[in-house]
């Protein structure tokens, strides 16, 4: 279920209403009146939640499913466990997205610059034009720059430095965190799927968790999770103009140079390093202590401790040998033609 500090629950809603909105067919017509309180991914779905399975490769996960209902392809509808109502639909993820939009919405900001129920400890300094949303918490000694916006429910630890024109929402931030000007934390990640009338956005119902001692550069963007959280580990240092997508988990003491781009659901081990303009495809794992060269394009997992470079990225020795060979061949051909 989404964190109530950041999202309002609009349920419960009858299962029949969710089926009608998504074009799904209820496997058990008697369940039309069953009340659903929220959406959740497979691992966290309880009896009052609805979830989805979009691919046959995840069919084995249905055995231990505790959800009250599940959107499924028609071919898997008979595999829903007892107590879980199957809803057969062509695009389960799209149906789930529509259900999420009906059941949850982000909490609105308050009408005043500093909400009456915001909690600011002693020594907090707010710059001119700073906005602090309802239910937000800011720890002792933290400084908030001019025109920075702290969204509803956000928690910021002690002795943090938040520069001007920063936007923070849907986030839990530790102590001694430094965020430079123009950074955006907690915006919805990029995700769309097919709906009954065309493309629809997939609701991003997770959070951003930033641990103690993290530094985040100017104009860097860290998206909140789509289903789980986006996490930045303790003492990690992130340069300017870096993009970190939803559901990414970055370990402790990592370094990312400017223009690094990390796609969704990437796992990064402790101590990993990224050169400038490095890019990582989605669902890739970067092992602890791995190093990614500048401008590298990572398309598959990198084992712990290895250094990779190139596009597509590969072990640095292989890449350098290939680059040297190509240079020699180009030189020979050029000399022969001359």
CA distances from 144 to 127, 166, 174 (A): 6, 9, 15
**Residues labelled as active-site residues:** 246
Residues of each domain in the chain carrying CATH 3.40.1390.10:
7-106
- What does the alpha-carbon distance between residue 264 and residue 246 come to, in Å, rounded to a whole number? 5
Structural fold of domain 170-317: UDP N-Acetylglucosamine Acyltransferase; domain 1 (2.160.10)
Q: For 177-205, what is each residue's pLDDT tens digit?
A: 999 999 999 999 999 998 878 899 999 99
Indicate the pairing of strand 192-195 with strand 230-232: unpaired
Q: For 248-277, what is each residue's pLDDT tens digit?
A: 999 999 999 999 999 999 999 999 999 999
Q: In degrees to the nearest 10, what's the CA dihedral of 330, 332, 336, 338?
A: 60
Angle at 267 between CA 263 and CA 268, to 5 degrees: 100
Q: Which residues pair with 167 in a beta bridge?
A: 149, 184
Q: For 25-71, what is each residue's pLDDT tens digit?
A: 999 999 999 999 999 988 889 999 999 998 888 778 788 889 999 99
* CATH of range 7-106; options 3.40.50.300, 3.20.20.70, 3.40.1390.10, 1.10.3720.10: 3.40.1390.10
Q: Which residues contact 106 (CB under 8 A, 6 or more apart)?
A: 6, 7, 8, 152, 169, 170
Tokens of 65: 């499913």
pTM value is: 0.92
Indicate the pairing of strand 267-268 with strand 237-238: unpaired
């Amino acid at each position: 279920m989404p964190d109530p500090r950041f999202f309002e629950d609009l349920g419960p809603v009858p299962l029949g209403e969710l089926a009608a909105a998504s074009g799904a067919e209820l496997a058990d017509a008697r369940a039309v009146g069953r009340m659903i309180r929220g959406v959740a991914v497979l691992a966290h779905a309880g009896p009052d939640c609805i979830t989805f399975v979009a691919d046959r490769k995840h069919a084995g996960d249905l055995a231990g499913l505790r959800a009250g209902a599940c959107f499924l392809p028609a071919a898997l509808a008979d595999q829903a466990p007892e107590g879980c109502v199957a809803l057969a639909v062509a695009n389960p993820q799209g149906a789930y997205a529509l259900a999420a939009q009906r059941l949850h919405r982000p909490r609105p900001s308050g009408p005043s610059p500093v909400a009456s129920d915001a909690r600011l400890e002693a020594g907090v300094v707010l710059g001119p034009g700073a906005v602090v949303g309802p239910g937000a918490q800011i720890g002792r000694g933290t400084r908030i720059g001019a025109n920075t916006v702290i969204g509803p429910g956000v928690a910021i630890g002690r002795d943090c430095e938040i520069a001007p024109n920063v936007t923070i929402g849907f986030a839990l931030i530790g102590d001694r965190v430094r965020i430079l000007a123009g950074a955006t934390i907690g915006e919805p990640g990029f995700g769309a799927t097919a709906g009954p009338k065309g493309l629809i956005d997939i609701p991003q119902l997770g959070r951003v968790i930033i641990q103690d001692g993290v530094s985040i550069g100017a104009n860097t963007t860290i998206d909140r999770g789509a289903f789980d959280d986006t996490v930045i580990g303790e003492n990690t240092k992130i340069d300017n103009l870096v993009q970190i997508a939803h559901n990414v988990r970055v370990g402790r003491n990592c370094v990312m140079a400017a223009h690094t781009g990390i796609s969704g659901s990437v796992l990064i081990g402790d101590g990993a390093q990224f050169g400038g303009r490095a890019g990582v495809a989605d669902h890739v794992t970067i092992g602890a202590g791995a190093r990614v060269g500048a401008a590298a394009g990572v398309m598959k997992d990198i084992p712990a401790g290895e250094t990779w470079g190139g596009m597509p990225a590969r072990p640095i020795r292989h890449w350098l040998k290939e680059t040297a060979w190509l240079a020699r061949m180009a030189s020979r051909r050029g000399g022969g033609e001359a």
